[in-house]
Chain A
Amino acid sequence: MTTRAKAKADAQRTLALDILNHGALALVALLFLFPFFWMVSNAVRSNAEVLAIPVRILPNVYEWGNFAKAWSELPFGRFFLNSMIVSVSVTVITVVVSCLSGYAFARLKFPGRDQLLMAYLGTLMIPGIMLIIPLFLIVNNLGMVNTFQGVILPVAFGTFGSFLLRQFFLSIPLELEEAARIDGASRLRILVSIIVPLSMPAIGLLSLFTFIGQWNNFLWPLIVMTGSDNATLPVGLTYFQTQQGTAWNFIMAGAALSMIPGVILAIVLQKLIYNSIALNAGMGGR
């Protein structure tokens, strides 16, 4: 009796502790989500109420129409499309280029390979803001100011992807491709039909971070895209800051809208994100 009762009491205590544990973390998570709540809460009030004192947690008057207004006052649909074009193109180029170079670093012997890889790694430490002016001069000389290729190309050749994929390719057993080589398959064919399908978590990680990085990129598209119709979302948000003052409520509404693709991606792709990062965790120390 005593042992069973003790086991039961233990189980009950564990259950109680479990609930407490979940509840406490849920509380932390809620606190963590507060800025998002504040974003939406400020998006649906009048601009005067944003800075009202004393602070109102919830708006006095709900102005749900602000989302529609923020959307229609600027060509937000167009900005969405622009952001999409830029982010998707950069991602595709980055992945293709990194697969090719990553494979060369991982599997092909050529003089100076290790030195070149070190040089690639070294560029990761260059502060990006410094390259903006020289990059702009290059884009200008290529006649690409205010064009999509002008925004896309200079950011599509980062060296991180080459390094990341090289690390992953190294972990794929060599035997898998040796059979294909004996059959006379070309390196390109091996890369496309054997290595790439096996590397989906790593390619997923690279795609995801490239996409999000470009979706959130601000300074570079701001400088290259001179026409107002060509602005991307983060640049478009700043149109609400005028000489006459700032439409905080519209900025918040626009920011909330611009988060939607990211949130959807985060939820839909959570499995991929976790797997990819897990992979990163596994490779991290090597």
Chain B
Amino acid sequence: MNHPALSGPVRFFGTCLADAVFPDAGMAAMRILDHLGCSVVYPLEQGCCGQPAYNSGFPEQARTVAMQQVRAFRGEGPIVVPSGSCAGMLKFHYPRLFADHPQYFEVAAFSERVVEYFDFLVNVLDARFEDKGPPVRVTWHSSCHALRETGSTQAAKALLGKLCNVELVELSREFECCGFGGTFSVKRPEVSAAMARDKVEDIRATGAQVVLTADCGCLMNITGTARKLGYDITGMHLAEFIWGRINEK
């Protein structure tokens, strides 16, 4: 990713899932930015990035929602997104979605400003944290879009590596999708469930106490599946985990 120059406030795109289901993750992510000396702004008019409609074959509705975000984030400076999937949508798919539309340049200028959260932390802020937590063994799940679109997985893992009491055990199939895929999980439930079950088994095989990720969609899918299967697996957004490690008493 290209990194927009840092001057003025950092605008935070919370994602619709963090808003509705994982506000702790969103709050932690903003507190970390604040902790690192950034001036964080949360535009209240924001919402979903539009990816569900876009991927389901409803580009028109996706464009309507996309323009809402473009307007909510008017101004300058970076827009940080704590989700590889939403970041990829905002950064790479918005320009495609508007390729033949009069709003193209406005949208492209918006997309230019988008950075995935951990990519921003590592490559723009050069973040370092003091790990005050007890020793813990964790594993890491990469969302497909963090892995293949924003390329931000490395940054997230690098950050994790800097926490001295945290041991990272890698998944044997990190490259494989957890089966969420937004509406895929309800449109092709049989396949999606099979993928989610395999992911949960892979996580169990690591013997880790916590599975971390940078995508609330995957998190909801993985923990929901684990619970349904009766497994006691803790899942957490990496931002929330880090915030906990910095503030451990």
Is B a genuine binding partner of A? no
Interface residues of A (CB under 8 A from B): none
